[in-house]
Structure 1
């Protein structure tokens, strides 16, 4: 059986390297295109060598249409600035796509919903299998513990990350709000200065950006009697790459529609 051909957008970045490494070892999928920005200094370089592997003869280029022609499925881990063009091009060429780009707005999310009526899309704020278990466990805990516990969310990433809170932390917040029937008015982002006593429905979001932390997320549930911590700590970017490739393989033969990692993992 022939391998699934995967075109990678944002192939020269940290996640791009990890995905290329995962695809090089895959029995089901193979790298078919490695797309970078038009003005990138990496154009023309071998993507295998750049990723710490042997030469794979898949050169970095900036022609997304060419990548679509060469690929069965696309994975996008590029920048937010290229998101709209990438997604519209995927829809134009009828290519399923896995979206791993972070920092997306409500307008971007609406575009994803609209174009999922034309092509199959996997969109998740985090592709890690472990993080998606964190999402599910947070949902379960919130429904069980309800208003008897104060809730805090801590998001730690490397000093280079631009968006805060992270997409993963934002999704944890959304899970908590939905599970507890609360809204954005119940959320506080960090603390500074004097505050009144904590409201029982408050959900606090905290962000740290330091060092080279790949990604740590913890949800705290605290009562007067006990504390529950649900935590995930990424030790290697390959955890996200493995999930992204699994999501791409999930889209093989799927019809149009919007899917998430719960669909991919069957949880």
Structure 2
């Protein structure tokens, strides 16, 4: 029998970090080996899974070398600057990384690609298996509805989310734009106000909602004459992201260096 995959988790006292810790605790083929958080976190020094009522013996730490010791894969849903620091440490210690962080600049993405020349990195704006199946459906729909349909992307998240539009919404836009032979950076419209004039049919619009505890809702609207097609995904629990992240970790555990996405993990590429 293969030994369990040693998993380290960044942002371990946050909502997503705790969901990941719980997911690891409930698997037979993965084990928590490290738990990272920022130095100012009040959780530093505490047992990472104490909130579950079953201590893991892994203390939350801000020391990257200590948190990554013995890990095969780090799972990171934090902030761009923190993730980049974690990736540098992963590269130094030979640890693969699953990145669910969003909001990277183009320069930061290039930095991630450079790290991927040395370690395995799976990066996706959304780890949900369902969302990534939706991405394939969007590619199919955009190719078929390439004339006479206006495309709008509407997303909603909780009040604490700091980036907009969401990384998932932007990825949906990229998938649609690529299928239509467009460049999203040139055709995206991120806000409308006042007298905007008639809609440019070559654009892809984005609308953002922030409020309450919405986990994540995304809808891509193809609006034609006499009909509209809506492809939606609604999350009711972060557990879907955690389970997708573990699938990605299992994938990376048997891979060498390279930059992968969820299509690679799910065999949809």
**How would you bin the TM-score normalised by the shorter chain?**
over 0.9
Q: How many pairs are equivalent? A: 266
In structure 2, the residue matched to 1:108 is 108
Shift of 1:80: 2.4
Shift of 1:70: 2.1
User: Normalising by structure 2, what TM-score?
Assistant: 0.96
Pairing 1:119–2:125 present: no
In structure 2, the residue matched to 1:191 is 192
Alignment of 1:1-267 (within 5 A): 1-50=2-51, 52-183=52-183, 184-267=185-268
1:5-52 Cα shifts (integer Å, max 9, x gaps): 1011111111101011111111211111111112221111111123x3
- Distance in 2 (CA, whole Å) between partners of 1:209 and 1:231 is 17
Q: Is the 8 A contact 1:147 1:200 kept in 2?
A: no
Shift of 1:58: 1.3
1:189-248 Cα shifts (integer Å, max 9, x gaps): 121111221122121100000111000000000111211100000000111011111101
Shift of 1:105: 1.1
RMSD in angstroms over aligned alpha carbons? 1.1
Q: Is the 8 A contact 2:34 2:69 kept in 1?
A: no
- Distance in 1 (CA, whole Å) between partners of 2:112 and 2:97 is 10
4+ residue runs over 3 A deviation: none
Asked which structure has the greater RCO (Cα within 8 Å, sep 6+), the reply is 1
Unaligned runs of 5+ in 2: none
SS at match of 2:146: helix
- Distance in 2 (CA, whole Å) between partners of 1:170 and 1:200 is 19
User: Normalising by structure 1, what TM-score?
Assistant: 0.97
Shift of 1:81: 2.8
SS at match of 1:178: helix
